[in-house]
Amino acid sequence: MNKKSFSSYKKIGFLFLFISNITFAQFSSITASSIDNDNLKIDLTFDQEIYSNSTCSTLTCIEVTDFILSLSGGDATLASNLPITITKLGNYNFTNQWNNPPVEPNNSGGNEDWAQHVSTGLLNDLNENTNNLNGVLEIIEPNPRAIPGYTYITSYPIGLSCAHSYYRSTTADSWSAEKLKAQNAGGDLLVYNSPEEFNYMVPGFNDNTTGVGNTWIGLSQDRTAPDYLERDAPALQVFPYTNGGWYWDDGTAMDNSAAPLKYQITIALNGVPNGDELVSINPITSPVSIFNCAGVSANSQINGANQVYLNDKLAPFITSTTISDDNTSIRVVFNENIFTNASSNPILTTDFTLSSCSKRECCKSNVNKPFGCS
């Protein structure tokens, strides 16, 4: 009896050791996640570079098929269990690419809040209201195609399924108009996500008529940003550069060198979120899809760092109304807490309007028909 018990303990101990080894040979890849206000883009933060194979000796693609989505709670549902797109966000300092350093950007024309890609490949700040330029369209797809209003420039990284394709618009317009045109074409204005991408495009494809030279790109200055600063005085035209409120269109700061690695995915939804929807993002584990440089595979996470709640987009509505016996007050009940603005300030009397009609007239109406009408 004692020998049998001892033998069982030995087997259990061995089993525990075996499981422990498996757990040690994986890592939790996502360390933080956040979602934009429109519930379209989710930023995934990683504490180390990730790869789609067990070696980091060659450039590999992180693709939408490397991650799986799930959603629980709320009213909205996922239109797809896979991300629609995935792109790596830049985590390097791009401020040394301004033209004529350290003079630019200097806001010399006033309201110069948009970035021009000059013919040298460097950047200049311009006022979009007084300058019309061609825009550079960037689409997350590897193969070129005919897009009305654009001519193809190149694709990068060459030969990989995760390559982005770049196009130059055939007509010049304001920065805002070129951005809208690019979005309507299925992409957005060019955003540099790595020095390798920039060094591929410049000087190789920075021609003024067929490349990225003298164009609008997806970089602009946010005057409401905490780090906003104009270098319109000589005393401010010094190194090292600060960000000055300049941000890429994916939300990345221009001087983002100290930021952790991030990938941005886009998702598709059915229905209107009420804020109770919890989205979980995990790497595909069968077969294994994500590795670190040591060849260790990523596991499905349970620490919550890979989860985000969708933002409530369901408009509040009245669920019931009752009037006092003396007809001097009406109690109005909503489906949720309501405020006068997005800053959660209290409701004001001016937030409501009143109208009246006879019961007969109201019951005939197809709009705002009261309870009790037959």
The DSSP secondary structure of 37-99, one letter per residue, reads: TTS-EEEEEESS--BSSS--SS-----GGGEEEEEESSS-EES-SS-SEEEEEP-SB-GGGBS
Per-residue model confidence as pLDDT tens digits over 87-102:
888 878 888 899 988 8
pLDDT category at 4 given cuts 50, 70, 90 is very low
* Residue 271: predicted pLDDT: 95
What rounded mean pLDDT belongs to the chain?
86
d(CA 121, CA 97): 8
Q: What is the spatial distance between Cα 330 and Cα 339, in angstroms, rounded to a whole number?
A: 18
Among the ranges given (19-23, 143-147, 217-221, 327-331), the one the predictor scored with the smallest mean pLDDT: 19-23
Residue 267, pLDDT score: 96
Among the residue ranges 122-136, 290-304, 359-373, the one predicted with the least confidence is 359-373
Taking the C-alpha atoms of residue 71 and residue 73, their distance in angstroms, rounded to an integer, is 7
> How far from chain centre, in Å, is Cα 127?
26
Token look-up 């789609």 returns: 52
The DSSP call for residue 303 is S
**Cross-strand bridge partners of residue 334:** 318
pLDDT band at 189 (very low <50, low <70, confident <90, very high): very high
Strands 123-126 and 41-46 turn out to be unpaired
Mean pLDDT to the nearest integer, 331-345: 87
Task: Output the pLDDT for position 9.
Answer: 35
Which is more confidently placed, 227 or 237?
A: 227
For residue 72, pLDDT over 70 is answered with yes
- Tell me, what DSSP letter sits at residue 103? T
Q: Is the pLDDT of residue 306 over 60?
A: yes
Cα–Cα dist 58/114, whole Å: 36
User: What pLDDT does 59 receive?
Assistant: 64
Higher pLDDT, 364 or 88: 88
E strand spans, 192-267: 215-221, 246-248, 261-266
Domains of the chain with CATH codes: 27-91+260-309 (2.60.40.1220), 95-248 (no CATH), 318-364 (no CATH)
**Predicted local distance difference test score (pLDDT) of residue 217:** 97
pLDDT at 274 over 70: yes
pLDDT band at 260 (very low <50, low <70, confident <90, very high): confident
Q: What is the pLDDT of residues 45-63, one digit of tens each?
A: 998 888 888 877 666 788 8
Examine the pLDDT at 367 and tell me if it is beyond 80.
Answer: no
Indicate if the pLDDT at residue 246 is higher than 90: yes
User: What pTM did the predictor assign?
Assistant: 0.71
Q: Which residue has the higher pLDDT, 173 or 258?
A: 173
What are the E-state strand segments in 104-184? 114-117, 123-126, 134-139, 150-156, 164-169
Q: In 10 A of CB 129, how many CB atoms?
A: 14
The string of pLDDT tens digits covering residues 149-167 is 999 999 998 888 888 999 9
